[in-house]
């Protein structure tokens, strides 16, 4: 993963979804900005906002989740990047809230934002940081479809836990030479 040049957060840009489980990718990018470039302002583009930090670009989609590929295609073109130089940060309803996985060249598992990316960039060769979006409160209960919780607000208890989860992810990424 040492050749990652772009970390791209996806979610829904509307204020009403800001703290929903579906926006964990965007929330992680806000955390990274605060951690790595607090004094800098996001630069604006039509479909995304971005920051350039030496050899790394942080970017947040400004399109709805299911159209994320439009924004990533624009970023790849603007910065002349290849798909395998990208880490897409997404929510994952199959993983519990306090966990995450980093994968490469995997299926979308039905995630519409990832399907849009695959379609628009014509490749599955991307790194993905899959942040758990299945609420802890659902552990041990019958399986619920993502539609029943993914657009709901993250609980206050879980919002308080986000910095610790994000710090753990950041530490893992640093150890994988992303920084």
Tokens coding 136: 């802890």
Judged on CB neighbours under 10 Å (0-12, 13-18, 19+), 37 is middle
Which residues are marked as active site?
Answer: 22
DSSP element (H, E) containing 169: helix 156-175
- Report d(CA 56, CA 39) in Å as an integer: 16
Name the one residue in this structure whose structure tokens are 């989740």.
65
**Sign of torsion, CA 133 25 67 5?**
negative
Judged on CB neighbours under 10 Å (0-12, 13-18, 19+), 166 is buried
């Amino acid at each position: 993963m040492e050749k990652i040049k772009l970390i791209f957060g996806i979610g829904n840009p509307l204020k009403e979804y800001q703290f929903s489980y579906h926006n964990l990718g965007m929330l992680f990018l806000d955390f990274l900005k605060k951690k790595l470039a607090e004094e800098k302002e996001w630069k604006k583009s039509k479909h995304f906002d971005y920051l350039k930090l030496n050899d790394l670009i942080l970017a947040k989609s400004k399109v709805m989740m299911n159209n994320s590929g439009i924004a990533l295609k624009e970023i790849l073109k603007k910065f002349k990047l290849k798909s395998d130089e990208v880490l897409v940060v997404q929510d994952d309803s199959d993983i519990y809230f306090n966990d995450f996985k980093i994968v490469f060249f995997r299926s979308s598992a039905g995630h519409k934002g990832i399907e849009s990316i695959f379609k628009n960039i014509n490749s599955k060769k991307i790194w993905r940081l899959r942040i758990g979006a299945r609420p802890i409160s659902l552990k041990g209960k019958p399986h619920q479809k993502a539609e029943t919780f993914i657009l709901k607000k993250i609980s206050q208890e879980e919002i308080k836990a986000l910095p610790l989860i994000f710090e753990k992810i950041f530490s893992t990424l640093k150890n994988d030479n992303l920084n």
